[in-house]
């Protein structure tokens, strides 16, 4: 039986690829044979990752991209496509959070969180989808969150942005299906990365971990299966779906 998750010959763009989940997504796509364009604001870290992926035999290209800057988005995508070819897969991963009680969230907090997680994802997806629709094929994966489906305290703009991203996923899937472009979302629960490791080692973090049905936070590699499902032909009849990977957070 052919390898359902083989991505040889595919070209992928991962935003926010310099660290955390984005870095892992880029590594996994490259390991399955995709040429990968790595995009993030911090090009130093990207160049290092690009070097590592090339040393493992991968094809990749690093590009500076702030997803909140519309003109930078079209330039970066053109740069990627010139370097590695027309995009088949977009992993819309760049995201931020500002943790404050609702009454303390400032206008700037809202603008930066919603501007990155929802508007930024929209800008990148729209630009990439234009080319995909012209070619009649493409696959977009939006990295949302269980906090797009449920809420916790002190993350109101984040919850709103991720809820919006899940609806954007459905709206895009609906409109782009006839053009051969599939659009799905991954909704991770709590996954340990550099930015939250300290928190999970704290008293509050341990309490949160113990409240999860599986009694532990997830590791980035535990998203590999969902990513490969959505990025490959294994999901060719899936569009508009959200794949939740949360250790039971939503059923706690």
- Is 190 an annotated catalytic residue? no
From the list 70, 96, 98, 234, which residue makes contact with ligand NAD (rule: CB under 6 A)? 96
From the list 12, 14, 16, 30, which residue makes contact with ligand NAD (rule: CB under 6 A)? 16
From the list 30, 141, 190, 231, which residue makes contact with ligand NAD (rule: CB under 6 A)? 190
Q: Closest Cα partner for 97 from 80, 118, 128?
A: 118
Q: Is 43 in the site for ligand NAD (CB under 6 A)?
A: no
Closest separation in Å from C-beta 14 to ligand NAD? 9
From the list 40, 113, 183, 229, which residue makes contact with ligand NAD (rule: CB under 6 A)? 40
Residue whose CB is less far from ligand NAD, 88 or 246: 246
Residue whose CB is less far from ligand NAD, 65 or 80: 65
> Which residues between 101 and 140 bind ligand NAD (CB under 6 A)?
116, 120
The structure tokens 């907090």 sit at 109
Side by side, which strands form the sheet with 181-188? Answer: 60-64, 35-40, 11-15, 89-92, 138-143, 181-188, 242-245
Closest separation in Å from C-beta 188 to ligand NAD? 4
Stretch that binds ligand NAD, among 35-43, 55-63, 170-178, 233-241 (CB under 6 A): 35-43
Q: Is 20 in the site for ligand NAD (CB under 6 A)?
A: yes
Q: By the 8 A CB rule, do 161 and 145 touch?
A: no
Q: What is the CA radius of gyration of the chain?
A: 17
Query: Which is the catalytic residue, given 22, 26, 94, 158?
Result: 158
DSSP 106: -
Q: Closest Cα partner for 126 from 118, 234, 114?
A: 118
Give the H or E element holding residue 65: none
Q: Closest Cα partner for 191 from 223, 148, 159, 162?
A: 223
Q: Residue 122 and residue 212: Cα distance in Å, rounded?
A: 31
Residue whose CB is less far from ligand NAD, 135 or 205: 205
Q: Is 177 in the site for ligand NAD (CB under 6 A)?
A: no
CA angle 123, 128, 183 (to 5 degrees): 90
Residue 42 CA to chain centroid, in angstroms? 17
Angle of the 156-176 helix axis to the 107-114 helix axis, nearest 10: 30
From the list 7, 11, 12, 21, which residue makes contact with ligand NAD (rule: CB under 6 A)? 21
Closest separation in Å from C-beta 190 to ligand NAD? 5
Active-site positions read 158
List residues near ligand NAD by CB under 6 A.
15-16, 18-22, 40-42, 65-68, 93-96, 116, 120, 143, 145, 188, 190-191, 193-196
């Amino acid at each position: 039986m052919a390898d359902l998750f083989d991505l040889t010959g595919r070209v992928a763009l991962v935003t926010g690829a310099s660290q955390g989940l984005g870095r892992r997504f880029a590594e996994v796509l490259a390991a399955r044979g995709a040429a990968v364009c790595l995009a993030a604001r911090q090009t130093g870290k990207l160049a290092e990752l690009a070097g590592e992926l090339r040393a493992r035999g991968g094809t990749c290209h690093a590009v500076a991209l702030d997803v909140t800057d519309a003109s930078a988005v079209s330039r970066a995508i053109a740069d990627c496509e010139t370097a590695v070819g027309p995009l088949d897969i977009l992993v819309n991963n760049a995201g931020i959070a500002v943790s404050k009680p609702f009454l303390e969230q400032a206008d700037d907090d809202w603008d930066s969180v919603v501007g990155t997680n929802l508007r930024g994802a929209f800008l990148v997806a729209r630009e990439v989808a234009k080319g995909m629709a012209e070619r009649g094929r493409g696959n977009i994966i939006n990295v949302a969150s269980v906090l797009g489906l449920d809420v916790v305290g002190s993350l109101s703009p984040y919850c709103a942005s991720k809820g919006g991203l899940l609806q954007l996923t459905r709206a895009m899937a609906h409109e782009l299906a006839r053009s051969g472009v599939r659009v799905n979302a991954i909704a991770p629960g709590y996954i340990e990365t550099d930015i939250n490791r300290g928190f999970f080692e704290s008293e509050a973090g341990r309490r949160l971990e113990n409240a999860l049905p599986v009694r532990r936070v997830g590791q980035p590699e535990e998203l590999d299966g969902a990513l490969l499902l959505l990025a490959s032909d294994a999901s060719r009849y899936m569009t508009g779906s959200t794949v939740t990977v949360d250790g039971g957070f939503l059923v706690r």
